[in-house]
Amino acid sequence: MRRILFVCTGNLCRSPMAAVMLQARLARDPRRRDWEAASAGLWTEEGLPASPPAVEVMAERGYCLDHHRSRPVTRELVEEADLVLGMTPHHVEALRLAFPHLADRIYLLAEMVGGSYGVEDPYGRPIGVYRAVADELERLIEEGYGRIVSLAERRGRPRGESSL
């Protein structure tokens, strides 16, 4: 099994939205159905629900965020991830500074399609901004899917496989 970790600021909007989208995409891929997409936030507290507009926008698209609870980024989460995808260059920089020994697995989500920009934070904004962010996340995940799985697979053996 491989694990891909999405990281944003509060783990209330972008990263949980991206994680459920990627999890659904992985479920359609027979070779990667056992992979896991997860999310965390750089500046959050444990146990907060996803923002109500994020829940609503994702439900409109057939995804469920009802059971999401925020969690902060930890060393353990980053170490367990085969690939870490930050929503903005600031997130990537903060992650690489905090975990320099893991910098080779930390990327900007937009890099998966050759971009270098951040995904806008919709928190506290009108629902139309959430819809635009969901559109962008869907595009990045769908168009970047090949690169996402390639980078996650690059880490070597799946967890649980012995080198002996």
User: Which residues are known catalytic residues?
Assistant: 8, 14, 121
Long-range contact set of residues 99-108: C-beta below 8 Å, sequence gap at least 24: 99/75, 102/78, 105/78, 105/81, 105/151, 105/155, 106/78, 107/83, 107/151
Taking the C-alpha atoms of residue 62 and residue 71, their distance in angstroms, rounded to an integer, is 23
C-beta separation of 86 from 7 below 8 A: yes
Taking the C-alpha atoms of residue 139 and residue 134, their distance in angstroms, rounded to an integer, is 9
Taking the C-alpha atoms of residue 56 and residue 36, their distance in angstroms, rounded to an integer, is 23
